[in-house]
Chain A
Amino acid sequence: METVKLTIDNKQIEVPKGTTIYKAAKGMGIDIPVLCYMDLHDLGVENKPAGCRICVVEVEGRRNLAPSCSTACMEGMVVKTHTPRVINARRTVMELILSDHPKDCLTCPKSGHCDLQDMAVRLGIRNIPGQEYAEMSTYKKDFSPAIIRDVDKCIMCRRCETMCNQVQTVGALSAVNRGFTAVVAPAFEQDLEKSPCTFCGQCVAVCPTGALTEVDHTAKVIRAIADPTKTVLVQTAPAVRAALGEEFGMKPGTLVTGKMAAALRKIGFDYVFDTDFAADLTIMEEGTELLDRLTRHLNGDKSVKLPILTSCCPAWVNFFEHSFTDMLDVPSSAKSPQQMFGSIAKSYFADKLGKKRDELVVVSVMPCLAKKYECQRDEFKVDGNPDVDYSISTRELAHLIKEFNINFAELPDEDFDRPLGESTGAAVIFGATGGVIEAAVRTAYEVQTGKKLEKIDFTELRGMEGIRTATIDFNGLPINIGIAHGLGNARKLLEQVRSGKANFHAIEVMACPGGCIGGGGQPLHHGDSSIIKARMEAIYREDAGKEIRKSHENPYIQQLYEEFLGKPMSETAHHLLHTHYFNRKKDVYIK
């Protein structure tokens, strides 16, 4: 490997050719502030527009300061990262950025989690000269069911554009206009809901300011809990327990399952249930559907569609409803765990309580913003009453816990309520990429072969690689499995399927990099992808510690089928747990 030698802050260093000054300095323990730059290393994502100039350094012999995030190290360079000139320039740059930025930090949804705010603190900004003359942007706000765009707060770092275009290949957002009116927006500056946006929330997850935030439902949840005529149920997605602790200063990867259940009870939910229960249910339905299609296929039925595609990620559903409209009958018809839970809660469980569906309020806590969109879809309502009333993000739950002044770290562990709170290790791993298909394999294998699995851990299905494939031996029958996380990877895999190049029996797709643990509603990782890895390890730790690790062995799932559903894919199951997909290609103008 070719290397170059240079001096940074009076120290000699040798780095591979092409290394940026920022990275070289970082390797020496020198922390240069960056704002627009973002490096999600484990996901292979780098945003490097060199736009903000916060990261400037002095390079001997050069007249101008250099942006360290995008300037490559050269042989013999002499770099100084914190000279008076540099410090002064960073401050001036920051003051300019702030001069036309709305200064409503106290009430901004990002307050306390905002990179711009943090940077102002870090650079010691104490006044903003000239702000009284600065023209302020007054761009329309865009309210979608999941995401709010307030682009007056946009600093044009273009991280969202990178996520939406390079990582997700959705292309809903692009930088438009120039100069003062430049913003990141959908085509023709329409609202997000009219664009191909999937509501994956990856743009929100990386936006350093309050320009992109989620729709906040916490006030509605508080009101529902206080309403004596309502019984309020809460369900929590697998990925939430592996990340919520971060909001309370705990190390990434800390599992807080028990504390979370305790906190929810303290907040006043009448029943603290678990989406994991519905994840087990998903495996029963989806796994059965897979086996059904497989058997028919093996028997020569040409009409069956293989591979079966998982359908538990609503952003992925939005994506194929928009971009793969010719393949709408390929994905599994199983609803997502969130929606299965709502459906069972407002039928089976409501009956058990002797209540009508509109006396129940179902709240879901999700790592996800697409679930906010999903739960308000018409097909998930009965007479206008939604199966899931409010979907709040992991971040919103943290706000709730803080608003209720609960000392989270000191809470004793508590358990979920029964029956809809019991789950297996197979359900927990839904939170990480590869987990859904591993859970499905654990059940499908035993059902298909009639044999007990000797080894429950299918490590060949795990990992952070964007596209993974594996063949699992079903007692002599090889089952080809594909896994993609991030919609860009899903697109690649799907195109192989569409062109007939790939030969899979089942494919799992998760829209978010890393799976739901990297979801758009999770605590912000501020560009540090090692956090997502730590959450992944936590998820598999939780699975390994569970007594029951296969969905079909969940006793409450067995009871649900005995008492209510009959068997997987029965008529009742079809009615309550399955859905169909729509062509949502949005050509707004062309008929």
Chain B
Amino acid sequence: MTDLSPPAAFLAAGPDQPRRNPSGMGAALRHDSALKHATGEARFLDDLPEPPGLLHAALALSPVAHGRLAPLDPAPARAVPGVVAVLLPGDIPGRNDIAAAGTNEVMLADGLVEHAGQPLAVVVGTTRDAALAGAAALRPEIAPLPPVLCIEEAIAREAWVLPPQAITRGDPCAALAAAPRRLSGEFRAGGQEHFYLEGQIALAVPGEDGEMAVQSSTQHPTEVQHLVARVLGCDHNRVTVTTRRMGGAFGGKESNASWVAACAALAARRTGRPVKLRLPRRVDIAATGKRHPFLYRWTAGFDATGRILALDAIMAADAGHSLDLTGGVIFRAITHALGPCDVPALSVRALACKTNTVSNTAFRGFGGPQGALLIEDVVHRVARAAGLPPEQVRERNFAGGGNGSETPYGQPLEGDLIRRVWAEARADADWDARRAEVAAFNAQHPYLRRGLGSMVLAFGISFGQMHMNQAGALVHVYADGSIRLNHGGTEMGQGLFIKVAQVVASVFGVDVARIAITATSTAEVPNTAPTAASTGSDLNGWAAHAAASAIRARMAEVAAEDWGVAPAEVEFAEDMVRAGGNRAMSFGELAKLATMKRVSLSATGFYRTPDIHWDRAAMRGRPFFYVSYGAAVAEVAVDTLTGEHRCLGAWLVQDCGRSLNPAVDLGQVEGAFIQGLGWLTCEELWWDAEGRLRTLGPATYKIPGSRDVPPVLKVRLLEGAPARSETIFRSKAVGEPPLLLATAVWNALKDAIGTDRLDAPATPERVLMAIRDR
């Protein structure tokens, strides 16, 4: 049906109001590259035509977890036919430092090896096979040192990559002592390999005057630029980094892509030729960081109603051998340790343990999912001890209502939304009937047990590093009315580009097809933040909005002058520009007119998130612009004789504010849930006694398959809940929060087997052992 509402009403709506445009805000448009992804026409970095004279690089990795490295003899690699260069730390013209947040994290091991899989050398060859054979031919001499391979040992040695952080409120010791009942717990959660389909890859092409053009599969082109410049010892303006799309990233290409690109750039600088570095899967898994594994120890005080009165907890993260982004991960873990709940008196201490393993990094949720497990474990155990359902205990402790409505560090939580998402998920799952069904099934089956579990999440949106909350965009309108959009966000399959294009389309009142989506480039928009922390659409959407609005204002003036009306009367809608009911021209005609009148149709836009602050010393503030909520119910079946299990059904409700694009957002919720399911139930990183990771490919590292998707998967976006903060069109971020929804499956497994402790990933073997230990 045609939209008959007057265009004036449409335009009157500010950017925080809904617009009704079939291809603008809120339209369920498919991903701009969806068809090309399906047909194979979408070009990923390795699909691009190779520049003439291209060389290929390969990495030589340490086989040892910890040891003294003698200067590496390049001769065996040089002897391999086709090998052109073997690059060692001494070949680095700038600094051998790839630290993303701290300092002094080496790109190539120099004298000391700190984890198995650590890069030792970059071998360059005329073919990839030659480079790989050269890397394999090297014989590093490493005098082994005893490695620290587990969190417990790091704690015992107080080996940290960063001092412990703590959030406290009230007097937890006194509150514990005063509580009617007390309980202690310990459990652990494993790490997770990103397993992006497209592995790490970069192509570096040296130019004149010390220029280096880098194409990188990265979430953070600006950091690639910085690291390449640091390693090469040149100014930022010599390095241009471009990213059209990634074949998945999940945080794994936030800091790790930078050093991969820096290795390629080093090789390009030293050989003077273009160099491509594409890591084979085994090398990728061995050399790049993962989600941080956590060990939890807690004591809680509670009463007979299940109200948790006090909590004293330690969350120890395995950082691996270096800092990388661990500071941010720890921050998010402790700020999310209570989830949607309120605990009046608490101390949560986070430890950043240094071990001789690969340096762990960003992974969708960035410590948030690990943080949320703490309160979920406490709720589960308190419920069992009090003889109450965990759902009742969680509800009893929800923030708001009679309980406190601020996190211990001062961030307000919206108790009404917490209760709403939970009520809706519960209703969607038909909880009471399902509970009865599960009980009836369990009463009659000899060895299968079903279980029900739930999860309620509260996830703060904004980078924990305040300065990262900024974005830029560059918009051009050409004389034919076509539009070119560029911004600092990167596309990794998550649908950011279409969402930002929708923002721009709605500003100009044009169809989204008019907008050319272009590769992210440090040459077009400088000094950007990574596309991470779920902030991509929030930040870049506003920046693009600002750029487009600036151009629209100029265009409105041109039209106003031409028609002799006030600029405020000029309306942009349906690819037309209109005023006063009888004036109209097409958007393209106005663009043409503006260029004839010598009006600029190009603008940059900039945005920085308002209202956020954090006091590092006090560990207090309002670090998040807003909080996203979600809730889930999951049903599982467990074979109690083998530990095998399946998720039979999942009912998810996710708050996306007023969704910019419900099709994209639903996809994000589904994908995040399955990825979370993988983390919690099947993806297991397995190190041998020498500290070598032995799950280096899909045959041994188990990401969920298509059949692990629950046969019933009902996903819904929360309706009628526009963001209360001034977000772009009142939408909310969606990339990370729904990963936490999979915690419902972990809870359902515990329900099915009636156990106190279930470490994650809950593999069949762990489930069986938990049944035995019950």
* Bind each other: no
Instruction: State the A residues within 8 Å of B (CB).
Output: none
Instruction: State the B residues within 8 Å of A (CB).
Output: none
